[in-house]
Amino acid sequence: MLHLTLFLVFGAVCLAGAINLLVQRHPINSALSLVAVMAALAGEYLLLGAEFVGAVQVIVYAGAIMVLFVFVIMLLNAGEEERTRGSHIALLIGVPGMLTGSLLIAWVLLHHSGTEAVGIGALPGPPKALAQLLFHDFLLPFEVTSILILIAILGSVVLAAKPEPSQEKEN
């Protein structure tokens, strides 16, 4: 009972944060709403018994990545975004489309996939169990993912690097 209440509370915070993110006009308020979403998600992970994932969620997403977001917004001194009234398509098609899509996914998950809801504490929570999964059972996907991330990092370095002075002259 307590778990269900907490699950609903965290879920409500998460949803409210996500909606607030879209509604707010100032980038820094949106970024802070995203922090609230991340923190609420960490709470949900904790409820499922995945305490390591929950802690990493807070440290990496809420504590590092979102700080960088806020840092960039502060550095650029981004102002309030301007609203345009031109896009009625988004309102007329986008919102019903999103609702239908999420209802469809929920219905399929509940009735047709044959999976049951994850029970409380059913996920591999302790770091040792998680390490066993990551570095033993799923070692290949883990390493492939890390190489993909490495490629992305290299790509961003190449894209962000200033061209050599000699090339600038040619241009």
Residues of this chain that interact with another protein (CB under 8 A) are 28, 32, 35, 51-52, 55-56, 58-59, 62-64, 67-68, 70-71, 73-75, 77, 126-127
Q: How far is the CB of 113 from another protein (least distance, A)?
A: 31
Q: Of 129, 126, 148, nearest to 137 (Cα)?
A: 129
Q: Which of 117/157 has CB closer to another protein? A: 157
Could you tell me which residues come within 8 angstroms of residue 61 by beta carbon, excluding any fewer than 6 positions away?
38
Q: Which of 75/147 has CB closer to another protein? A: 75
Q: Which of 41/62 has CB closer to another protein? A: 62
- The CA dihedral of 109, 113, 115, 118, to the nearest 10 degrees, is -20
Q: How far is the CB of 83 from another protein (least distance, A)?
A: 20
Residue 38, Cβ neighbours under 10 Å: how many? 20
Could you tell me which residues come within 8 angstroms of residue 121 by beta carbon, excluding any fewer than 6 positions away?
48, 49
Q: Which residue stretches of the chain are H helix? A: 2-23, 27-47, 51-56, 66-76, 88-89, 95-111, 127-132, 139-160, 165-170
Q: How far is the CB of 103 from another protein (least distance, A)?
A: 35
Q: Which of 23/110 has CB closer to another protein? A: 23
The answer to whether the CB of 28 falls within 8 A of the CB of 73 is yes
Q: How far is the CB of 108 from another protein (least distance, A)?
A: 34
Q: How far is the CB of 86 from another protein (least distance, A)?
A: 29
Q: Which of 21/55 has CB closer to another protein? A: 55
